[in-house]
Amino acid sequence: MATGTDYRAAVVGGGPAGLAAALALARSGIETVLVAPAPKPDHADSRTAALFAGSIHFLMNLGVWTRIEASSAPIVAIRILDDTGRLFRAPETRFEARDAGRENFGYNVPNRGLVDALWQEAQDAPGLTLRPDRLLARLDTTGAKASLTLDDGSTLLAELVVAADGRKSLCREASAIVTKAWSYDQSAVACTFDHTRPHQGISTELHRRSGPLTTVPLPGRASSLVWVERPAEAQRLMSLDESAFRTLLEARLQGLLGSVGSIGRRTMFPLSGMSATRFGDHRVALVGEAGHVIPPIGAQGLNLGLRDAATIAECAGDAGVHADVGGPAVLERYSAARMLDVTSRVWTVDVLNRSLLSGLLPVQLARGAGLYALQMLDPLRRRLVREGLEPTGAIPRLMRPPANFATASAG
């Protein structure tokens, strides 16, 4: 690739949000370059992501769903069990996909398989150029176009820079977009595990005093685990040998999934939160964790990231062939489109998490009463299911069911 090459859009970052954004932009007729290191053959990510219907439709529309469907499992129900042992315990609350008129809420998808599938699709996508060998070293947004300097000293020009370079985003820094960030006194241990009882497509959240312990179905008798604890306890869980970890997990699950079998590689994630005060400025659009970081509670993070990706592609595509796709009109439309969806979910997850940690009686009462109301009131529960599944505001076109979509498959 020659230096100084001129593109309409440059996407920086090859995580799931960046890869999806690059494919979506190219598909929307925007000549795009992707600056992202190729996934290493042995790259390990112990996380899975519960992706809701809109995200699955997006993957179908990008042509990658068939590559990962077999390694993903449908989620037909979500149950919340109060394991706080407190005086005011909430009743079991159960959300069924059929309450929202769907066959399932979506699918639990392994991160690694998702990145590999998107990367494969990107290899020969028309209108998409890859720079798999390089990282972005510097971004200058002061000129008529953004100038990207790569780590070999070569430069690229682009009207629009899609910052999908993760939570420590260099592109976000260059755009001078202000963020609010905070941390929680909690860490999550994530892994996959086998078990003897079938999960029946049900994801279970055990609400505990130190944070939730969540299991999400995988194909067969296997599930993924996100176990949130105080940092010292999470560190201890990481240091246990497999047999001791298995014994503890089995005790925590109280027989819900029968005996626990083999356990995959464990990874620890300190919990933090971050939200940008706007999502586009100075030729930069923030996508995925470059724009928002949410604790792994309620499966919102990547669903938001994919909605960012579909939305920036729609805003840029709609601007027309002669428009400046990194100009204020496109970026203001994008930022406005993402604001309510992102901020409402960052806030909801924060409140839910803090209500578990709080030892205050009124907070426990409010939480218990809220879950009780949800269990008893069908319309309220149905509404919450819909809100949790779908973005607040218009659904980007790329997240609507594809024309040849059989309604049964993704709900």
Ligand X SMILES: Cc1cc2nc3c(=O)[nH]c(=O)nc-3n(C[C@H](O)[C@H](O)[C@H](O)COP(=O)(O)OP(=O)(O)OC[C@H]3O[C@@H](n4cnc5c(N)ncnc54)[C@H](O)[C@@H]3O)c2cc1C
Residue from 7, 8, 11, 14 touching ligand X (CB under 6 A): that is 14
CA–CA separation, 396 vs 398, rounded Å? 6
When asked if residue 303 is in the footprint of ligand X (CB under 6 A), the reply is yes
Nearer to ligand X, 168 or 322 (CB): 168
Torsion of CA 178, 33, 28, 63, to 10 degrees: -110
Residue 193: helix, strand or coil by DSSP? strand
When asked if residue 12 is in the footprint of ligand X (CB under 6 A), the reply is yes
When asked if residue 50 is in the footprint of ligand X (CB under 6 A), the reply is yes
Residue from 10, 15, 25, 207 touching ligand X (CB under 6 A): that is 15
Helix (H) or strand (E) holding 243: helix 242-253
CA–CA separation, 265 vs 44, rounded Å? 9
Residue 168: helix, strand or coil by DSSP? coil
Residue 356: helix, strand or coil by DSSP? helix
x-marked contacts with ligand X along 92-111 as a string, rule CB under 6 A: -------------------x
Q: Which of 16, 304, 270, 285 is nearest to 139 (CA)?
A: 285
- To ligand X, the closest distance from the beta carbon of 294 in angstroms equals 7
Q: Could you tell me how far CA 372 lies from the centroid of its own chain? A: 28
Stretch that binds ligand X, among 91-99, 204-212, 241-249, 293-301 (CB under 6 A): 293-301
**How many other CB atoms are found less than 10 A from the CB of residue 106?**
24
Nearer to ligand X, 93 or 214 (CB): 214
- To ligand X, the closest distance from the beta carbon of 369 in angstroms equals 27
| The token pair that represents 258 in the structure block | 């029968």
Q: Which of 234, 318, 327 is nearest to 25 (CA)?
A: 318
When asked if residue 212 is in the footprint of ligand X (CB under 6 A), the reply is no
Residue from 166, 217, 280, 396 touching ligand X (CB under 6 A): that is 166
Stretch that binds ligand X, among 15-23, 79-87, 153-161, 247-255 (CB under 6 A): 15-23
Residue from 53, 190, 249, 284 touching ligand X (CB under 6 A): that is 190
CA–CA separation, 404 vs 265, rounded Å? 38
- To ligand X, the closest distance from the beta carbon of 320 in angstroms equals 28
When asked if residue 23 is in the footprint of ligand X (CB under 6 A), the reply is no
Residue from 69, 159, 205, 289 touching ligand X (CB under 6 A): that is 289
When asked if residue 122 is in the footprint of ligand X (CB under 6 A), the reply is no
Phi, psi of 242 (to 5 degrees): -60, -40
- To ligand X, the closest distance from the beta carbon of 379 in angstroms equals 26
Map the footprint of ligand X across residues 305-324, applying CB under 6 A: 305
Contacts of residue 44, defined as CB under 8 A and 6 or more positions apart, other chains included, come to: 112, 265
| The token pair that represents 378 in the structure block | 């069908």
Instruction: Give the binding site for ligand X (CB under 6 A).
Output: 12-18, 35-37, 47, 49-50, 111, 135-136, 164-166, 170, 188, 190, 226, 269, 288-289, 296, 299-303, 305
